Amino acid sequence: MSCKQCLSLLVTRLKGRRLLFFHQMMMSTVLQCHLIAPICKLINQIDPRHRYGQNLYLYYDVWFNSGSFQPFFYWLDVGDGKEVNLDKCPRTELHHQCIKYLGPKERDAYEVIVESGKLMYKQSGNLVNTPEGSKWIFVLSTSRNMYVGEKKKRLFQHSSFLAGGATIAAGRLVALNGLLEAVWSYSGHYCPTEENFMEFISFLEELHVDLTDVKKYPIDDDIPPSSATKKEIN
């Protein structure tokens, strides 16, 4: 079974249609195609409340094993599973940890442009600064608009900027007073490729960002690129 077919089956299951042996086939494909992150992403996108995908997945397992014929989200919120409360993810945590999806007006506050080689927020005019100890993420939309903001685990992540919409590139960056110091691919939601990363580098070069001393890593990894084990693009 292909990754695409597996995800298609998941959508069908979440909407309430029961398929024999689905769970076994899905888990087999997960192991082969590393679909854990995409499945959690899909569950989060289908959920009107955008609850954190990995949290929802814990309840999905309970739902499947219960043998219920109720659609998953109906079972979870108003049906037979509404009283289920897991130690690994209590209901309070499930409902609190919702991924923020920005609307068009909210998104404007995160749009970044380049002025004199520096990254600057278009709306406020403030230069981009990423304090040490925090994680800052970016996406490049299909209309070639860049958005930058601080990552907040299980609350604000790459999918937040475009409400789960398509991107050209996504990752993390480090900047001081608008000057880019490091950039690398990392997004559990978008799973960027090296090609995506190189498109972002080309985008920066077109805007005359000086990348001479910028550390550039195409590897999809959450660890900052200070490690000597990472391969840098020269």
Instruction: Write down the pLDDT at residue 19.
Output: 42
Give the mean pLDDT of 43-69. Answer: 87
pLDDT in tens, 209-225: 999 999 998 775 556 55
Model confidence at 39, pLDDT cuts 50, 70, 90, reads low
Report which of residues 152 and 54 the model is more confident about: 152
Instruction: Write down the pLDDT at residue 222.
Output: 59
3-state secondary structure of 164: coil
Nearest CA to 95 out of 33, 159, 179, 154 is that of 154
The pLDDT > 90 percentage for the chain reads 63
Burial class of 174 by CB neighbour count within 10 A (0 to 12, 13 to 18, 19+): buried
pLDDT in tens, 146-174: 999 999 988 999 999 999 899 999 999 99
3-state secondary structure of 51: strand
Instruction: Write down the pLDDT at residue 11.
Output: 55
Instruction: Write down the pLDDT at residue 231.
Output: 56
Cβ atoms 168, 144 nearer than 8 A: yes
The pLDDT > 70 percentage for the chain reads 75
Q: What are phi and psi of 118, to 5 degrees?
A: -110, 145
Model confidence at 191, pLDDT cuts 50, 70, 90, reads confident
Count the Cβ atoms, other than its own, within 10 Å of residue 231: 9
Instruction: Write down the pLDDT at residue 21.
Output: 41
Lowest-confidence region among 23-27, 77-81, 112-116, 171-175? 23-27
29: pLDDT strictly greater than 80: no
pTM of the full predicted structure? Answer: 0.73
2: pLDDT strictly greater than 70: no
Max Cα separation, the chain? 61
Instruction: Write down the pLDDT at residue 203.
Output: 98
Instruction: Write down the pLDDT at residue 104.
Output: 94
48: pLDDT strictly greater than 70: yes
User: Mean pLDDT across the chain, nearest whole number?
Assistant: 84
Cβ atoms 219, 231 nearer than 8 A: yes
d(CA 40, CA 36): 6
Instruction: Write down the pLDDT at residue 193.
Output: 92
Instruction: Write down the pLDDT at residue 36.
Output: 58
Nearest CA to 35 out of 6, 12, 77, 57 is that of 6
234: pLDDT strictly greater than 60: no
